[in-house]
Amino acid sequence: MRLATGREEIYRGVPASPGIIIGSTRSLSRDVENVSADRIVDSEVEKETFRKAISQVEKTLEKTAAKVFQRLGPEFARIFEAQVMIAGDEVWNKNVEKRIEKEKICAEYIYHNESKKVIRRLGNSNDAYLRERVQDIEAVTARLVSRMRGEKRVTLRDFKGATVLVARYLTPGDILALSVRRNLGFATGIGGPTSHTALIAKSLSVPAVAGLGRITEEISSGQRVIIDGYKGLFIINPSGNTIKKYRQLKKSESQLKRQLAQLKDKAAVTKDGFKVDILANIELPEEVNLALSLGAEGIGLFRSEFIYLQSTSLPSEEDHFSIYSRIAKEAYPYPVYIRTVDVGGEKNLPQLKIEKEPNPALGLRAIRLSLRDKDLFKIQLRAILRASIQKNVKILIPMITEIEEVEEVKLLLQEVKDELKTKRIKFDEKIPLGVMIEVPAAAAITDLLVKEVDYLSIGTNDLIQYYLAVDRSNEFVSYLYKPLHPSILRLLKFIIETAHREGKEITVCGEMAADPLCAIALFGLGLNKFSMNPIFIPRIKKALRSVEYKTVKRVIQKAMTLKTAQEIEECIIENILAKHPKAFLMGQMI
Ligand code: PEP
Ligand code: MG
């Protein structure tokens, strides 16, 4: 535990969910401490107590799964089902019983000891998915140990007032138990791309900062802190001035939220009458309603890999189909762009048996993997086609590098269509097919690619990483990750203008679209279709409704003549943002 200095200290983490909380900490230790190897007298009694404890843990987890199912739907519930499976693992539990009999030591010590061994193995894995499973095992072990010790679990509903829950990580169960509370924030030590914490925090509108490192394990309960989920800041012992500043921000935040809520049914139309379509990126089917309630005009990107991330086995055609048709029905009459699976690389899944690769970002991922495992790909295509009967579904292919891949996709799609026709299964015969432009090679042949497909969608997250040779998740080079780098703007200009010249639709679905400054740059380059995380839709609408296209176009033309990202940024701020402080400076916040 670290000693409180009383001085203001600012820690920078990853902004996981927007919002501000000024409150006191509640620290949640994840370690099951002091599990001693107590000798037991009767191994039969100990084994029986162990079995009972396991069955109680399973029951509690099943109950939580049912509650979560009700509140948030099947996808979240699956997270708990994974924990039920760990608790009920027969091989593991039999092994614990064998050791109880042989070593005459208490069950909680042996269980804890076994789980440490597995965690060590998984924790060293390069695979983010496997590392995430460590959290599930730790959660089950903590439950089991406290059951065996007869301890009452601290329920997180107990504390009063504005609270920032600080922990190395939080399980979905923790977050759910808390979701009834208002005035709550999370600060976690870890948090990666497959972290459920950030996702659930966003869906429940709980401000959160992740990736804060060791400080979350060192801080004690009852410390005065602020978390700033917009910037990813965790401020310990904030000074009077800082508190004043954040109180003011919170006040503006509420005013702005009220103002932005009024934009829900208003289109993003500029002052001189240009209409921009605003769609939502989602990972979970549950987010469709949130997206529509925030004014989305469709689902511009459904990252279908989430279906794989929640299950330990491969999803069936029916699993795919039920999710796609639910999204399509809920979003109707708006369009839904279903991106075929983008796993591989960092998102390695054990179900897919991908070899470990030396350079995963450049490896067997997304469409490359789908074209290797064609049967799996066809299952997904079949499910998407079956969900397309209302004619509001589009297929989007990730990580296209060359024309040959598109040709192969088209052949497979035709095969699946023919199979469905033979079986007299209905689908949208004219289902639009589009590709992501996120590999520089694809960007360079936009003129050729665009003729092969119905539409394009620019994935700026990957396009920037590959064009600038800057790993998008590596904090050591993040200072070089510049969406407004002149090279990126030139490339985007070429892609957008080429697609429009061919009369084809083009969207940006990378994070750039959700940043007001970058959105203005994209708009000035002629982009009229944006897709983004739903919570950012109101601020982009607000920004676009405040400007005139002709002014933005002129400013971006001027910005394109500048030499550095910083000069470009300053040019846009000076000529656009500063002229509309209400729309932008506050809009930056939400
Ligand atoms: C992108 O690369 O911009 C994109 C939208 O895809 P993802 O973030 O899922 O890689
Ligand atoms: Mg991408």
Q: What's CA 502's distance to the chain center, in Å?
A: 33
The residue whose C-alpha atom lies closest to atom 6 belonging to ligand 1 is 459
Tell me the CB-side half-sphere exposure of residue 103, using CA atoms within 13 A.
16
Query: What stretches of 149-261 show up as alpha helix (H) in DSSP?
Result: 172-178, 196-203, 215-218, 240-261
What pLDDT, on a 0 to 100 scale, did the predictor assign at position 194?
Answer: 38
Q: What is the pLDDT along the chain (590 residues), one digit of tens a residue?
A: 555 567 899 998 888 888 999 999 988 766 566 788 889 889 999 999 999 999 999 998 888 777 777 766 666 677 778 888 899 999 999 999 999 999 999 999 999 999 988 888 887 776 666 666 777 888 888 888 878 877 655 455 556 789 998 988 776 566 665 665 678 899 988 764 335 566 667 767 789 998 888 888 888 888 999 999 988 899 999 999 999 999 998 888 888 778 888 888 899 999 999 999 999 998 888 889 989 999 999 999 999 987 776 666 788 999 999 999 999 999 999 999 999 999 876 566 666 666 778 888 899 999 999 999 999 999 999 999 999 999 999 999 999 999 999 999 999 999 999 999 999 999 999 999 999 999 999 999 999 999 999 999 999 999 999 999 998 766 678 789 899 999 999 999 999 999 999 999 999 998 899 889 999 999 999 999 999 988 889 889 999 999 999 999 999 999 999 999 999 999 999 999 988 887 775 555 54
List phi, psi (to 5°) of 385.
-60, -45
In whole angstroms, what is the distance from residue 80 CA to residue 521 CA? 43
In whole angstroms, what is the distance from residue 1 CA to residue 226 CA? 20
Q: Letter for the amino acid at 164?
A: V
Cα(520) to ligand 2 centroid in Å equals 21
Cα(500) to ligand 1 centroid in Å equals 22
The residue whose C-alpha atom lies closest to atom 1 belonging to ligand 1 is 459
- Residue 396's DSSP bridge partners are 339, 434
> Residues with beta carbon < 5 A to ion ligand 2?
438, 459, 462
Q: Which of 284, 307, 436 for a ligand 1 pocket mutation test, highest count of atoms within 8 Å of Cβ? A: 436
Contact 132, 170 (CB under 8 A): no
CB-based contacts of 121, cutoff 8 Å, min separation 6: none
Cα(568) to ligand 2 centroid in Å equals 25
Q: What is the DSSP string of 48-77?
A: HHHHHHHHHHHHHHHHHHHHHHHHH-HHHH
* Angle CA 529–535–541, to nearest 5: 45
Cα(4) to ligand 1 centroid in Å equals 41
Q: Assign residue 366 a region (left: φ > 0; alpha: ψ between -120 and 50; beta: otherwise).
A: left
In whole angstroms, what is the distance from residue 492 CA to residue 508 CA? 10
Q: What is the DSSP string of 507-558?
A: EE-SGGGGSHHHHHHHHHTT--EEEE-GGGHHHHHHHHHTS-HHHHHHHHHH
Index of the ligand 1 atom closest to the CA of residue 465:
2
In whole angstroms, what is the distance from residue 566 CA to residue 114 CA? 53
The residue whose C-alpha atom lies closest to atom 9 belonging to ligand 1 is 303
Cα(281) to ligand 2 centroid in Å equals 12
* Angle CA 137–139–144, to nearest 5: 95
Cα(27) to ligand 1 centroid in Å equals 34
To the query of whether residue 580 is one of the catalytic residues in this protein, the response is: no
Contact 373, 352 (CB under 8 A): yes
Ranges assigned E (strand) in 389-450: 393-397, 433-437
Index of the ligand 1 atom closest to the CA of residue 511:
3
Q: Which of 106, 320, 509, 571 is catalytic?
A: 509
The residue whose C-alpha atom lies closest to atom 3 belonging to ligand 1 is 459
Index of the ligand 1 atom closest to the CA of residue 438:
2
Smallest CA-to-CA distance from 277 within 533, 584, 539, 531 is with 531
Index of the ligand 1 atom closest to the CA of residue 457:
5
**Ligand nearest to the CA of residue 303, numbered in listed order:** 1
CB-based contacts of 86, cutoff 8 Å, min separation 6: 92, 136, 137, 140
Cα(366) to ligand 2 centroid in Å equals 9
Q: Which of 303, 307, 467, 506 for a ligand 1 pocket mutation test, highest count of atoms within 8 Å of Cβ? A: 303
What pLDDT, on a 0 to 100 scale, did the predictor assign at position 192?
Answer: 45
In whole angstroms, what is the distance from residue 434 CA to residue 396 CA? 5
Smallest CA-to-CA distance from 309 within 349, 345, 344, 339 is with 349
In whole angstroms, what is the distance from residue 453 CA to residue 432 CA? 8
Contact 133, 351 (CB under 8 A): no
Q: Which of 196, 320, 485, 571 is catalytic?
A: 196
What pLDDT, on a 0 to 100 scale, did the predictor assign at position 517?
Answer: 93
Q: Which of 461, 471, 491 for a ligand 1 pocket mutation test, highest count of atoms within 8 Å of Cβ? A: 461
SS3 content of the chain, % helix, strand, coil (to 5): 50, 15, 35
Q: Which of 279, 438, 460 for a ligand 1 pocket mutation test, highest count of atoms within 8 Å of Cβ? A: 438
**Ligand nearest to the CA of residue 511, numbered in listed order:** 1
The residue whose C-alpha atom lies closest to atom 4 belonging to ligand 1 is 459
What DSSP designation does 88 have? T
Index of the ligand 1 atom closest to the CA of residue 512:
3
Pairing verdict, β 336-339 and 393-397: parallel
Q: Letter for the amino acid at 15?
A: P
Output the six-digit token pair for 413.
């799609």
In whole angstroms, what is the distance from residue 276 CA to residue 111 CA? 57
The residue whose C-alpha atom lies closest to atom 8 belonging to ligand 1 is 461
To the query of whether residue 320 is one of the catalytic residues in this protein, the response is: no
Cα(342) to ligand 2 centroid in Å equals 8
Burial class of residue 361 (count of CB atoms within 10 Å of its CB; 0-12, 13-18, 19+): middle
Cα(170) to ligand 2 centroid in Å equals 27
Give the residues surrounding ligand 1 with Cβ less than 6 Å away.
303, 342, 438, 459-462, 509-510
CA distances from 70 to 24, 73, 98, 147, 523 (A): 31, 6, 39, 26, 41
Index of the ligand 1 atom closest to the CA of residue 281:
5
CA distance between the termini of the chain: 35
Index of the ligand 1 atom closest to the CA of residue 462:
2
Smallest CA-to-CA distance from 402 within 455, 441, 360, 367 is with 441
